[in-house]
Amino acid sequence: MSVSESPLQKLRVIDLGRVWSGPLTTRLMADFGAEVIKVESLAGRGVFSGPTSRQATLSEEFPDHDPGEYPWNRSSMFNDLNRNKLSLTLDLSMPEGADIFKKLVKISDVVVENYTPRVMANFGLDYAALKTVREDIIMLSMPAYGMTGPYRDFPGYGNTIEPVAGITNLVGYPGDRPHPLGMIAGDALAALHGVGAVLTALRHRRLTGKGQYIDLSQAETQTSIIGEYILGYGMNGKSPERTGNRHPWKSPHGCYRCRGEDSWVVIAVSTDGEWRNLCAAMGNPPWADDTKFADQLSRWKNQDELDVSIEAWTVQRDHYEVMHILQKAGIACGPVLNGREVLNDPHLNSRGFFVNITHPESGTHPYAGVPIRPSRSPASFRLPAPCLGEHNREVLGGLLGLSDAEIASLKAKKVIGDTPPDAPVT
């Protein structure tokens, strides 16, 4: 698969995204053939996106726990979210940096950023400024709460935005207090709404010749996946209850312990027919004949007791084994997989979901691939995540035509570089 057949061929994207949401937005574009240039400040691979000093390594994971000589190039999270991209370092607070950025915008199609709203304006690089450089530029800003409104300048990460967006209120063990999601959903929700909006804007540009500005509030994109609860409240004035592993009407519906340490399976039974199949699959135990479990409503009312009996069966078995037994009986069921198990899952591997990527400073590791498989224009994996400033020369000299002397002068002035300012002396 060559890049020339990719749907985003010839598209140039500038990625100012930090941490997770912004980089994931542009990763999807890069995977489908766009040339994505990450514009990074030298100190920009911060706590979450790749530490700049050995002290910060506490909050990251490195190959075999070893930060190595250049930890900012060995961050698992950064390397995961930034494959297929180029890295250009640029200090946008310096006039030379902002000037080069504008030259790059002139030959680009899309700019993606997830700073707090003041940052781009402070650099003199907001949409109004970039539009004077490139009339049809498409710019996506994705701050926590949007570019306007009273919370505009409030900081936020996925796990502080999810409560405000209404998600956390719906999560928790029944009868217990709200519980944060173990894995933040917010960043990916912002990224996916963001990439959808950029692709929509590209189509708009193709039809009309016009670029545009996309103002994405991460909170609003999160609230967009709980619309039914908001509308439900509008209808009946009732705040939804936290159901945890229970379901409003399905039963049994829950998470059951299996053989082995911290090993679990989930089972969701929707109909009386499925219930009979479940009983048969468990060997028709006598307790299952109790009238307490005879129909859906009775099972739902007596689910505490039901769950104990089901768990007595699952706990003797491996979680995958339970899935195969029950799925063969036509019941929705699956193991609760930890990260290692996801990486080894036979189904995901048989579909070739994981891609092995070799990074010059981190080695070879499997990474999650792309969950979108167009039959004619699939994603491609061309480059590992870039080392800091790895493509300075290629972008500045090759794309923008700067001379060696000009590039050397930028380096001397610390507009560009390849080592964070607080890096330890080695």
Partner 1 sequence: MTESALGVLKVLDLSEGISGPYCTRLLAGWGAEVIKVERPGHGDCARSAGPFPDAGPHQEKSALFLYLNTGKKSITLNLGTTTGRHLLVELAKDADVLVENFKPGIMHDRGLGYAALEEINPRLVMTSITAFGQDGPYRDYKSSGIVGYAMGGQMWVCGQPDRAPLNSAIAIPEYFGGLYGYASTMLALRYADDTGRGQQVDVSILECLAASHQFTLTWPAYSNSLLVRPGWPGFRAPLSFYACKDGYVNLRLQGIEMPFLAFLLDMPQLADDPRFQTLEARSENIKVLEEIVAGKLANMSKKDVFRTAGEWRALCGYVATPEDLLSDPQYLAREFWTEIEHPAVGKLPYPGAPVKMTETEWWNGRAPLLGEHNEEIYCGRLGYSKDGLVRLRAYGII
Q: Which amino acid is at 94?
A: M
Catalytic choice (15, 109, 126, 187): 187
3-state secondary structure 278-296: HHHHCCCCHHHHCHHHCCH
User: Shortest gap between Cβ of 97 and partner 1 (angstroms)?
Assistant: 24
In the set 175, 291, 340, 358, which binds partner 1 (CB under 8 A)? 340
Distance, in Å, from the CA atom of 311 to the CA atom of 334, rounded to the nearest integer, reads 14
For the beta carbon of residue 218, count every other beta carbon within 10 angstroms.
28
> Which CB, 186 or 417, lies closer to partner 1?
186
User: Shortest gap between Cβ of 312 and partner 1 (angstroms)?
Assistant: 15
User: Counting contacts by CB under 8 A, is residue 59 touching partner 1?
Assistant: yes
187 is catalytic: yes
Cβ contacts of 149 within 8 Å, gap of 6 or more: none
User: Counting contacts by CB under 8 A, is residue 194 touching partner 1?
Assistant: yes
User: Counting contacts by CB under 8 A, is residue 336 touching partner 1?
Assistant: yes
Distances in Å between the alpha carbon of 408 and those of 94, 102, 104, 111, 405?
A: 16, 20, 18, 26, 5
Distance, in Å, from the CA atom of 18 to the CA atom of 20, rounded to the nearest integer, reads 6
Sites for partner 1 among residues 63-92 (CB under 8 A)? 63-65, 76-77, 79-81
> Which CB, 137 or 399, lies closer to partner 1?
137
Can you read off the two tokens belonging to residue 14?
Answer: 């500038």
User: Counting contacts by CB under 8 A, is residue 259 touching partner 1?
Assistant: no
User: Counting contacts by CB under 8 A, is residue 126 touching partner 1?
Assistant: no
User: Counting contacts by CB under 8 A, is residue 133 touching partner 1?
Assistant: no
User: Counting contacts by CB under 8 A, is residue 275 touching partner 1?
Assistant: no
User: Counting contacts by CB under 8 A, is residue 216 touching partner 1?
Assistant: yes
In the set 3, 43, 94, 348, which binds partner 1 (CB under 8 A)? 348
Q: By the 8 A CB rule, do 269 and 251 touch?
A: yes
User: Shortest gap between Cβ of 281 and partner 1 (angstroms)?
Assistant: 13
Angle value at C-alpha 401, between 400 and 405, nearest 5 degrees: 120
User: Counting contacts by CB under 8 A, is residue 380 touching partner 1?
Assistant: no
Cβ contacts of 15 within 8 Å, gap of 6 or more: 22, 23, 26, 36, 37, 38, 39, 85, 112
User: Counting contacts by CB under 8 A, is residue 392 touching partner 1?
Assistant: no
User: Shortest gap between Cβ of 102 and partner 1 (angstroms)?
Assistant: 20
Structure-token match 């689910």, residue found: 303
Distance, in Å, from the CA atom of 292 to the CA atom of 421, rounded to the nearest integer, reads 68
In the set 52, 57, 212, 380, which binds partner 1 (CB under 8 A)? 212
In the set 1, 107, 128, 181, which binds partner 1 (CB under 8 A)? 181
In the set 13, 14, 16, 28, which binds partner 1 (CB under 8 A)? 28
In the set 175, 283, 286, 371, which binds partner 1 (CB under 8 A)? 371
Compute the half-sphere exposure of residue 102: CA atoms within 13 Å on the CB side of its CA. 19
User: Counting contacts by CB under 8 A, is residue 115 touching partner 1?
Assistant: no
User: Counting contacts by CB under 8 A, is residue 310 touching partner 1?
Assistant: no
Angle value at C-alpha 182, between 179 and 184, nearest 5 degrees: 100
In the set 95, 285, 360, 366, which binds partner 1 (CB under 8 A)? 366
Cβ contacts of 228 within 8 Å, gap of 6 or more: none
Sites for partner 1 among residues 143-162 (CB under 8 A)? 145-146, 148-151, 153-162
Q: By the 8 A CB rule, do 218 and 144 touch?
A: yes
User: Counting contacts by CB under 8 A, is residue 248 touching partner 1?
Assistant: yes
User: Shortest gap between Cβ of 315 and partner 1 (angstroms)?
Assistant: 12
> Which CB, 213 or 313, lies closer to partner 1?
213
User: Counting contacts by CB under 8 A, is residue 339 touching partner 1?
Assistant: yes
User: Shortest gap between Cβ of 150 and partner 1 (angstroms)?
Assistant: 5
Distance, in Å, from the CA atom of 324 to the CA atom of 318, rounded to the nearest integer, reads 10
Q: Which amino acid is at 381?
A: F
User: Counting contacts by CB under 8 A, is residue 227 touching partner 1?
Assistant: yes
Q: Which amino acid is at 61?
A: E
User: Counting contacts by CB under 8 A, is residue 361 touching partner 1?
Assistant: no
Q: Which amino acid is at 15?
A: D
Active site residues: 187
